[in-house]
């Protein structure tokens, strides 16, 4: 009987009920979208920090891409320097390990069975300390000839076979999603990547400018001696012509500063959204008391107790909030995936979605907090309705 009365009250005032629904749904959507976006960026940053494993990154000086582009995004980066740079780096005091990588790319052409362009990276199985660790986690063995390993954000291939630049490969495994450039990268041994790139008719213009791919590398990952600071190694590497360097500490410090600013903006917006929502609900529920005077007076004359009036008004408020919270949660998830695509397209922020259990817990927490705020906002109007004089309330309601 109670819920039937509540439902009739809601549909009898569609404009007022719709306004409450909109306020709460918009609040939930904004909170879910912003909180989960911030959480995803922080997850991605931590994932990149955990997966990189290098202290210094060396790139060609003419590279138009920032270190953040290389580390956090999967955009194709056809940048090259002479392989002799690797030998010079290895001779520097304080360098414990140095491994090269060779960048090329897939194409959205008939030569490739991928829906868009991805980075195709060759690594040195003998000296590598990054991809070999990923192989141990994702495959549990070294790659066989004609095999590749694929990042977690790249769609699975039918039959685990993929064509790259006109060459067929078997997919040895798929890496788990980590939040950085690795998620959008295909890995193969460096000799394989060079050979495939050199034979591709689509990439010949690159080799006219850069030279023979067999003598080129795109980056050098360096692990420094624990007793030597990466900054000291960078100073020595800076004397090698044609290269630029960045330390892991510098990249992560820059990322932390950006995250701190982003976090401040998000939490400020969250507080503003909550304040506006509470103020709007208080105003809405207070006006509800005036709208329901005739109804309350009639129910009291018919024998309804104050406690029952209090429960009806409170239930009506919370029921509309609950329904709006469900709708707002789905809208918030839509915002989250929209923000993900936008950040991937227009920024170099790493992005790693929380697991679905974590997402559900976060949404439940936001919904429960919103219901609690709505409950507090509805308490006084519900109490006021319950304590109205029935004759006076009926008379005032009929005079509206």
Predicted pLDDT of residue 60: 92
* pTM strictly above 0.85: no
pLDDT, residue 397, reads 47
- HSE of 251 in the Cβ direction (CA atoms, 13 Å)? 26
Task: Give the pLDDT score at 10.
Answer: 58
Please compute Rg for the chain using Cα positions: 30
pLDDT band at 212 (very low <50, low <70, confident <90, very high): very high
In percent, the amount of the chain with pLDDT more than 70 equals 80
CA distance 5 to 57: 68
Q: What are the beta bridge partners of residue 60?
A: 243
Token couple for 215: 């003598």
Phi then psi for 245, rounded to 5 degrees?
Answer: -130, 160
What integer best gives the mean pLDDT of the chain? 81
Answer whether 193's CB lies under 8 Å from 102's CB.
yes
Rounded to whole angstroms, how far apart are CA atoms 160 and 169? 9
Q: How far apart are CA 108 and CA 206, in angstroms?
A: 17
Phi, psi values for residue 240, rounded to 5°: -80, 125
Per residue in 320-357, pLDDT tens? 888 899 999 999 999 999 988 887 776 666 778 888 89
Mean pLDDT value across residues 376-398: 61
Question: Helix %, strand %, coil % for the chain, to 5?
Answer: 60, 15, 25
The yes-or-no verdict on residue 394 having pLDDT over 60 is no
Strands (E), the chain: 56-60, 81-82, 95-105, 119-123, 147-150, 161-164, 167-174, 185-189, 216-217, 219-224, 243-247
Encode pLDDT of 145-164 as tens digits. 889 998 888 877 767 888 88
Task: Please give the pLDDT value at position 87.
Answer: 92
Between CA 183 and CA 185 the distance in angstroms is 6
What is the residue-wise DSSP string for 79-123? --EETHHHHHHHTSTTEEEEEEEEEEE--SSTT--SSS--EEEEE
Q: What is the pLDDT of residues 276-329, one digit of tens each?
A: 888 888 777 766 665 665 565 555 565 566 666 677 777 777 888 888 999 999
For residue 106, what are the contacts with CB-CB under 8 A and spacing of at least 6? 76, 112, 114, 117, 118, 120, 164, 165, 186
How confident is the model over 220-275, as pLDDT tens digits? 999 998 888 888 998 999 899 989 888 877 777 777 787 788 888 888 988 888 88
- Long-range (24+ apart) CB contacts under 8 A made by 344-348 are 344/73, 348/66, 348/68, 348/69, 348/72, 348/73
């Amino acid at each position: 009987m109670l819920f039937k009365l509540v439902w009739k009250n809601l549909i009898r005032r569609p404009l007022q009920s719709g306004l409450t629904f909109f306020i709460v749904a918009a609040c939930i959507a904004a909170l879910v979208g912003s909180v989960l976006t911030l959480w995803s960026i922080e997850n991605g940053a931590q994932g990149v920090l955990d997966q990189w494993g290098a202290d210094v990154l060396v790139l060609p000086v003419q590279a138009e891409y920032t270190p953040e582009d290389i580390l956090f995004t999967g955009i194709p980066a056809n940048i090259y320097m002479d392989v002799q740079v690797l030998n010079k780096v290895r001779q520097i005091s304080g360098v414990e390990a140095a491994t090269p990588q060779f960048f090329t790319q897939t194409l959205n052409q008939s030569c490739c069975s991928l829906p868009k362009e991805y980075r195709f990276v060759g690594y040195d199985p003998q000296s590598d300390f990054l991809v070999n660790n990923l192989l141990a986690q994702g495959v549990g063995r070294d790659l066989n000839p004609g095999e590749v390993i694929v990042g977690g954000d790249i769609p699975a291939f039918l039959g685990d076979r993929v064509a790259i630049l006109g060459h067929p490969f078997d997919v040895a495994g798929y890496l788990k999603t980590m939040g950085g450039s690795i998620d959008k990268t295909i890995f193969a041994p460096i000799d394989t990547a060079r050979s495939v790139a050199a034979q591709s008719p689509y990439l010949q213009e690159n080799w006219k400018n850069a030279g023979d791919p067999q003598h080129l590398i795109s980056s050098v990952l360096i692990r420094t001696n624990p007793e030597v600071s990466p900054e000291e190694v960078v100073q020595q590497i800076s004397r090698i012509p044609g290269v630029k360097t960045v330390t892991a500490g510098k990249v992560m410090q820059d990322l932390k500063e950006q995250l701190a600013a982003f976090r401040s903006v998000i939490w400020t917006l969250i507080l503003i959204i909550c304040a506006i929502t509470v103020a709007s609900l208080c105003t809405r529920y207070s006006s509800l008391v005036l709208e329901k005077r005739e109804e309350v007076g009639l129910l009291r004359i018919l024998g309804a107790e104050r406690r029952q009036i209090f429960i009806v008004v409170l239930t009506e408020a919370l029921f509309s909030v609950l329904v709006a919270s469900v709708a707002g949660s789905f809208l918030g998830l839509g915002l989250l995936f929209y923000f993900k695509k936008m950040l991937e397209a227009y920024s170099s922020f790493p992005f790693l979605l929380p697991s679905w259990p974590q997402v559900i817990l976060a949404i439940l927490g936001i919904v429960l907090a919103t219901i609690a705020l709505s409950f507090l906002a509805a308490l006084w109007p519900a109490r006021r309705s319950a304590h109205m004089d029935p004759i006076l309330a009926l008379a005032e309601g009929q005079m509206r």
